[in-house]
Amino acid sequence: MTVKHAELTQEIQRQAKELLASGEVAAFLGFSAGSLPMTTRPFVARTPQEAERLVWNSFCTVNLANYLPALLKSLEPPRSPKDPPPTGPLPKVGVLATGCWSRNIVVQIQENQVDRSRLVILGVPSRGMVDRKKVLAALQGKEVLEAQEDDHSLRLKGKWGETELSRWAVVRDNCQSCRHPNPVLFDRLLDAASERQAQAPFSQIEAIEAMSSDERWQWFQQAFASCIRCYACRNACPLCYCSTCFVDDNRPQWVGKALNAPDVLTFHILRAFHCAGRCTDCGACESVCPMGIKVRLLTQKLSKDILTLFGAEAGMDVSVPPPFTTYAPSDQNPFECDTCSSKGKKE
Amino acid sequence: MKIRINDHQLIQWIQGLITKFQVFYPLQDANSGVVHIQKATGSLNSDAILKPVSGVPKTSIKTFFMPQPEVIARFSIAAQDAEAFVLKEPGTALQTQVLLNIRPCDARSVALNSMPYAEDPYFQKMLKRTVIIGRPCDETCSTCFCELVGGSPHGTEGMDLVILKTEDGLALEVLTQKGADFLKQNPCAESAGLQPTPQQQGGQELPIVAREMQKKDLLALYNASFWPQIAEACINCGACTFLCPTCYCFDIQDEVAGTKGVRLRYWDSCMFPLFTLHASGHNPRGQKVQRVRNRFMHKFKYFPDRFGPVSCVGCGRCVKDCPVNIDIREVISLMQAV
């Protein structure tokens, strides 16, 4: 493990133990080690002993904010839907938050999904998480039986021998293009703030925007052709909390449920639009995709548009309402398009 | 029965099959390193025939037996149509398809799925049209556990034909009558009169894990205390069930475009909120923990109780691709310890 990550693991375990032992939190949400190299498991420690299983490394790719609403609810006294909400202080949850996850927590607070007063947020400036699929590609599919990380390299072993890769070369796309690695909302910060800031955060999007309309359509169809509709992207996303998703509804059936291309593409484009102005580019959707689809390019395009049109980035400040929940006369006129060359005119 | 064949004969035979049938085989993508089952077009690289890729293909071969989706009927909703709303056969022409270089675990999944689908006309139709040419595994992955669940890297269950490596070259063995008939029509070298190798009749012993699970009390397993811990990290996506070769649940929907409608059968997943949702709105598996439990109880208790073996071939796909690293081998250990 990297020196930095080894230190952080110790610090996380120490603080989680302390929070659980003192009773300040009833549960601590973090990661435990996975059963395979380069994997971790989202894990809830409920006793100081369990906190010893917490780890921190380059493979913490799942967004912990996704678990918060259900975990908080599970700690409330049971009640039926018609009972009044509980009064008095409710048990708290400790949670780890990198830059993007903390911004998701901000969005959850703004959307009334979590109660800030019930969270103890341990901020962790992120060094960027590693993409297992990039490692697999770099090794041409050879199986990794052991992975050790140093601060700037990954040492990988298998039946085929061993090799060393540059860590940054296999860091996830969303982490490579990240401009906010530091938590924006926290109670304690576990490490010095990171100074890394991507210079061209939207370069992947600009490459697609530069295509002709026909090329983009080709790209879109091809990029999502291998989707199996497992909905891992949706379910790993802290923004997707509708009690019934439009794809799950069957009366009426908004979208077909099998692998017919129009249905698959409809699902992806609608899911992305539901995240406009709310997505923090945490990359969980892409990391969990079993088929290796670059799912986040759709949400990242919308993040770029939101930044261009509204000057807004999701979850940077609890007191700033998300752009699509407010109206101001100075808002961009939707009939005037500043991003395309045609500059559509009002009638 | 088997015959010896040389590399050249095998290549010629398979190239010949590609001109006559739809042939699908595992191929590694050069960019991602991922193995996918692909349709052979034109002529195959001889390496692809002689040196099958090691490593489990990303998706299983169940899609060839349970297409995603499958049109099971057609209908019209035009008011003037005298036969409006009458379901009709889809009229899809089903030609022979050949699955080449299939791993023992994937082939065995077809045999296991045939048990619950013994009387399912759609599955049986697909089974009839498909010839599986298997290949034993020379190399296993760290996520493979076929032997634990009753398979073997050299098993042939579910295959019609198998290409074997022997000390002095290659051999082609016939395992089923379907395989023998196929070879009669599409001979390879001197294969014309080959009869299927007699298979053990019902004498196949169940793996320990299946016998153990059969003996266990259903409610003790159902009420075991570990389910909430297993389910805690689960995000209830369908990656495990859709990649799994032996998850065979389906749902049916009608889809209408204009005045024409189709009745589709498509994959369902016990992880999904619509799974077992009653018309009343009640769902007996409404919570995450109930859904997660159902997947494992089905594979390792309900299925062996009803059919004998466990409904898992140990391919390790769910272990590799679960977004939150729920490892089925750990779940089996926990269930065995009850």
Q: What residues does each domain of chain A span?
A: 203-325
Residue A22, pLDDT score: 98
Q: How confident is the model at residue A258, as a pLDDT?
A: 87
Best residue in B32, B36, B280, B328 to probe A by mutation, most A CBs within 10 Å? B32
How large is the average pLDDT for residues A196-218?
95
Note the pLDDT of residue B234.
98
Q: Taking 60 as the threshold, does the pLDDT of residue A219 lie above it?
A: yes
Check pLDDT > 80 for residue A89: yes
Q: How many Cβ atoms sit within 10 Å of the Cβ of residue A48?
A: 16
Over residues B220-234, the mean pLDDT reads: 97
pLDDT band at A1 (very low <50, low <70, confident <90, very high): low
Tell me what the pLDDT averaged over chain B comes to.
Answer: 93
Residue A336 banded pLDDT, cuts 50, 70, 90: low
Q: Is the pLDDT of residue A341 over 60?
A: no
Overall average pLDDT of the B249-263 stretch: 93
Which residues of A are less than 8 Å from B315 in CB distance?
Answer: none
pLDDT at B242 over 80: yes
Mean pLDDT (whole number) for B37-58: 87
**A-chain residues near B35 (CB < 8 A):** 141
Element (H, E) at B75: strand B70-76
User: Is there a contact between B238 and A288 if contact means CB atoms under 8 Å apart?
Assistant: no
A344 confidence band (pLDDT: 50, 70, 90): very low
Residue A105 or residue B205, greater confidence: A105
Residue A337 scores a pLDDT above 60: no
Residue A326 — very low, low, confident or very high, per pLDDT cuts 50/70/90?
confident
pLDDT value at residue B196? 86
**Residue A28 contacts residue A94 (beta carbons within 8 Å):** yes
pLDDT at site A330? 76
Query: Do A295 and A234 touch, CB atoms closer than 8 A?
Result: no
Which DSSP category does B35 fall into?
E
Residue A339 has a pLDDT of 58
Tell me the two tokens of residue A216: 């983009």
Contact B238 A291 (CB under 8 A): no
Residue B202 has pLDDT above 60, yes or no: no
**Cβ pair B22, B95 in contact under 8 A:** yes
Question: Among partner residues A36, A145, A248, which is closest to B325 by beta-carbon distance?
Answer: A36
Average pLDDT over residues B221-229: 97
**Torsion sign across C-alpha atoms A298, A303, A305, A306:** positive
Q: What is the mean pLDDT of the segment spanning A197-219? A: 96
Quick check: A158 pLDDT over 80?
A: yes
Separation CA B103–CA B39 (nearest Å): 16
User: What pLDDT score does B194 carry?
Assistant: 79
CB count, 10 Å around CB of A279? Answer: 27
Contact B142 A143 (CB under 8 A): yes
Nearest to B237 among A133, A232, A292 (CB): A232
Is the pLDDT assigned to residue A345 strictly greater than 50? no
Domain count, chain B: 1
**Section B31-49 average pLDDT:** 88
**pLDDT over 70 (residue A334):** no
How does pLDDT run across A53-81, given as a tens digit for each residue? 999 999 999 999 999 999 999 999 988 88
Give residue A347's pLDDT band: very low, low, confident or very high (50, 70, 90): very low
Distance CA A97, CA A29 (A): 10
Average pLDDT in the A88-102 region? 96
Q: What is the average pLDDT score of chain A?
A: 93
Which residues of chain A make contact with B325, given a CB cutoff of 8 A?
A: 34-36, 39-41
Q: What is the mean pLDDT of residues A285-289?
A: 98
Examine residue A77 and say whether the peptide bond preceding it is cis (omega within 30 degrees of 0): no
pLDDT score recorded for residue B195: 83
- Mean pLDDT score, B195-202: 72
Range of the domain at B215: 2-336
Flag whether pLDDT at B201 surpasses 90: no
Distance between A83 CA and the closest CA of chain B, angstroms: 20
- Please tell me the pTM assigned to this model: 0.94
Q: What is the pLDDT of residues A3-41, one digit of tens each?
A: 899 999 999 999 999 999 999 999 999 999 999 999 999
* Cα–chain center distance at B68: 13
Alpha carbons A103 and A99: distance in angstroms, whole number: 6
- Give me the pLDDT at residue A346, please: 43
pLDDT > 70: what percent of chain B? 99
Higher pLDDT, A332 or B203: A332
A232: pLDDT strictly greater than 50: yes
